[in-house]
Amino acid sequence: MAKKVNKKRAALLEKIEIEKNYSVADATKLITELKSAKFDETVEIALNLNVDPRHADQMLRGSVVLPNGTGKVVRVAVFAKDDKADEARAAGADLVGSDELIDAIKEGKIDFDTVIATPNMMGTLGKVARILGPKGLMPNPKTGTVTMDVTKAVTEAKGGKVNFRTDKKGNIHAGIGKVSFGSEKILENLETFIQTINKVKPASAKGRYILNGALSLTMSPAVTMDASELMDMKAKA
């Protein structure tokens, strides 16, 4: 089996000029030619930023709503009570509650991809912070998941919102669509994602901001992009 996988990967590598930094347009076209799995592979972006996450002001964390969505069915859990709970259900949340959801999480029942909470529920959520935190599921105001505007939060989560956060080495990884989207929609999503990353560049980050950027599919090698072009992507005024 391993030999078959290696042969398939070798065939994909033949389509890529490993030392080349592709233009963003060429990279998005090429990535659609690298599909090899029987399922609809996710298009993943990886960035290495010239930031030092040890400093709080250089730890990037935020979210962006992609124009074409992610292609992923997202299950949303909302911690809210009374009118806000009703609002969450009306907006399409998959799970809504408070203490009963806490008990389910403690039992290991985590049947959701995103957690949204009203501010008054954060004290209750603290009981399971050690469970949700390591999984990247703890709500945070910076990603818009701690809010009184439950309708907007649920709608965005269902419609293609992507959260991002730098790791200890200044890397960001995110899924920005499916290979079935085609190069045009992938490019639109990529541009929106990069524009957001450029917009949140820390004022204290000096020198070249985006050191490296690459696209890949779930089962494909990476396609390296021109970092200078990525840095030039700015949101339209």
DSSP state of 56: G
- Whether residue 2 is contained in a domain is answered as no
**Among candidate residues 136, 159, 182, the one where a domain is terminated:** 159
My answer on whether 152 and 213 are in the same domain is no
As a whole number of angstroms, the distance between CA 49 and CA 231 comes to 11
Domain that holds residue 105: 76-159
- Where b means 16+ CB within 10 Å and e means fewer, 67-86 reads ebbbbeebebbbbbeeebbe
pLDDT of residue 2: 43
pLDDT of residue 236: 59
pLDDT tens digits, residue range 213-235? 999 999 999 999 999 999 999 86
Give the mean pLDDT of 6-30: 89
pLDDT of residue 85: 95
How are strands ordered across the β-sheet holding 114-117?
95-97, 76-79, 114-117
My answer on whether 93 and 150 are in the same domain is yes
**Among candidate residues 135, 159, 183, the one where a domain is terminated:** 159
Under DSSP, is residue 69 helix (H, G, I), strand (E, B) or coil? Answer: coil
Strands (E), 113-170: 114-117, 161-165
Q: Name the domain count of the chain.
A: 2
181-184, long-range: CB < 8 A, 24+ apart: 181/43, 181/68, 181/71, 182/32, 183/25, 183/28, 183/29, 183/31, 183/32
pLDDT of residue 235: 65
Please say if the pLDDT value at position 7 is more than 90. no
My answer on whether 189 and 119 are in the same domain is no
- Whether residue 9 is contained in a domain is answered as no
My answer on whether 87 and 63 are in the same domain is no
Give the mean pLDDT of 134-146: 91
In angstroms, what CA-CA distances link 237 with 194, 198, 230, 232, 234?
Answer: 15, 14, 18, 14, 9
My answer on whether 104 and 221 are in the same domain is no
- Whether residue 180 is contained in a domain is answered as yes
Instruction: Please report, for the domain that includes residue 34, its CATH number.
Output: 3.30.190.20
- Whether residue 87 is contained in a domain is answered as yes
Cβ partners under 8 Å of residue 4, min gap 6: none
CB distance 189 to 13 below 8 Å:
no
- Whether residue 60 is contained in a domain is answered as yes
Instruction: Please report, for the domain that includes residue 91, its CATH number.
Output: 3.40.50.790
* H or E segment to which residue 130 belongs: helix 129-132
pLDDT tens digits, residue range 148-167? 999 999 999 998 899 899 99
CB atoms within 10 A of CB 88: 25
pLDDT band of residue 13 (cuts 50, 70, 90) is confident
- Whether residue 7 is contained in a domain is answered as no
Average pLDDT over the chain reads 92
My answer on whether 107 and 145 are in the same domain is yes
**Among candidate residues 139, 159, 179, the one where a domain is terminated:** 159
CB distance 116 to 157 below 8 Å:
yes
My answer on whether 109 and 223 are in the same domain is no
pLDDT tens digits, residue range 51-68? 998 898 999 989 999 999
My answer on whether 110 and 45 are in the same domain is no
Please say if the pLDDT value at position 6 is more than 90. no
- Whether residue 1 is contained in a domain is answered as no
Cα–Cα nearest to 117, from 150, 87, 86: 150
CB atoms within 10 A of CB 199: 12
Cα–Cα nearest to 155, from 62, 87, 97, 101: 87
My answer on whether 83 and 141 are in the same domain is yes
My answer on whether 179 and 216 are in the same domain is yes
pLDDT of residue 12: 85
- Whether residue 23 is contained in a domain is answered as yes
My answer on whether 147 and 87 are in the same domain is yes
My answer on whether 188 and 146 are in the same domain is no
